[in-house]
Amino acid sequence: MILVVKRGTYLCKMQDKPDIRKLTREELEHHMVQTLHQPRYRTDQVWQWLWQKGASHFNDMSNLPLKLREKMEETFSLRPITIDKEQVSADGTIKTRFQLFDGHCIESVLIPVPAENRYTVCVSSQVGCSLSCSFCATGKMARVRNLDPGEIFDQVFQVNRQSMEHFDHPLTNIVFMGMGEPLLAYRPVMQSIVHITSPEGLHMSPRRITVSTAGIAKMISKLADEKVHFNLALSLHAADDDKRNQIMPINEQNNLEVLREALAYFYDQTRSRITLEYIAFKNYNDSIEDARKLASFIKGFPAMVNIIEYNPVDGVNFTKSEADTVDRFAQYLSKQGVDVTVRRSRGKDIDAACGQLANKG
């Protein structure tokens, strides 16, 4: 069967055969041995091409016999993401728009900080987003679908190559802070992290990975139950339910008390300190009273606060807080014993900063 999907001028033919990167290792071995009549060691070779070498086509698998590659082409599909557009900021940040097999696009951002020997990729987990946070460009897009584990993996693999080409340095960190809500794409996100951290994959340390959420309490508890080894960040932005309800509708079902309990449980199970992301909006959430409420919210679990500069989004009335207001806010938190950092935005000139990813241009 041939399914034809049309999106704009893009025409994609999806053949009705299994996506090889959705198979478990056991399923792949079954196909290799039972369907393709290959020795078991071929599974190891194919697995390495998929999850270590990032093969884009079966013909890339050069240590496999040509006839086997042809049979695999007939049996499986392999759907790599492809670069659609690349933009370089004045500060060195690189935003890449990737096209998926069905014609939809997502964005990833490479954030280099050579002075700190830190090269971070910000990856997407969904096409669009369903949470409708009022200050976020992605939130204005409809959620289309979750990304597959392979599509998330490809972002890391391709941006790592980008980092080597531009900076002669591999990625040091991965943050799931791009398009979409990672905990609403729980299974593919977790599977991608397995491939990224596995010795049979990219073998990156889970401590170099941060998954950010707008606050899905039951999924935070699920992460805790699984005792994950990666870091967790909560996009908080207000420590007052009324204010948070206005800018983040998800708070109506996951209020601050429920979130506090989930975060405390996460720390209790994992012993990993949590990061709270806090965008400072002028005359909205940047008063000393707001800082007091934030300090109170943190009691009960160790956390670090990142105060983030607001980045303009078309059609949004918020403006960024004044620098001296942010400094006073941070100083108050520090005096309360809170570990706080004021983070300046990167890549604003190419719409690559926090909250700006929306496939523009």
Q: Report in angstroms the alpha-carbon separations of 206 from 191, 196, 203, 228.
A: 13, 9, 9, 9
66, with CB counted inside 10 A (0-12, 13-18, 19+), is exposed
Q: Which of 274, 263, 234 is nearest to 250 (CA)?
A: 234
Q: Give CA separation, 345 vs 171, 219, 316, 321, 332, in Å.
A: 19, 28, 18, 13, 22
Q: N- to C-terminal Cα distance for the chain?
A: 35
Nearest residue to 84 (alpha-carbon basis) of 146, 136, 8: 8
Residue whose pair of structure tokens reads 């959420």 in the numeric block: 213
**What is the token pair recorded at 348?**
């604003």
107 in active site: yes
Amino acid letter, residue 6 = K
Give me 56's structure tokens.
């884009």
Q: How far apart are CA 25 and CA 30, in angstroms?
A: 9
Structure tokens at 19: 């996506």
CA atoms of 161 and 339, how far apart (whole Å): 34
Q: Give the strand pairing for 10-15 and 2-7.
A: antiparallel
| Residue 163: alpha-carbon gap to chain centroid | 17
Number of CB atoms found within 10 A of residue 98's CB: 24
* Residue appearing with tokens 């080894």: 229
- 């990142």: which residue's tokens? 306
Among 107, 151, 277, 309, which one carries the catalytic annotation? 107
Is 277 among the residues known to form the active site?
no
Catalytic machinery residues = 107, 354
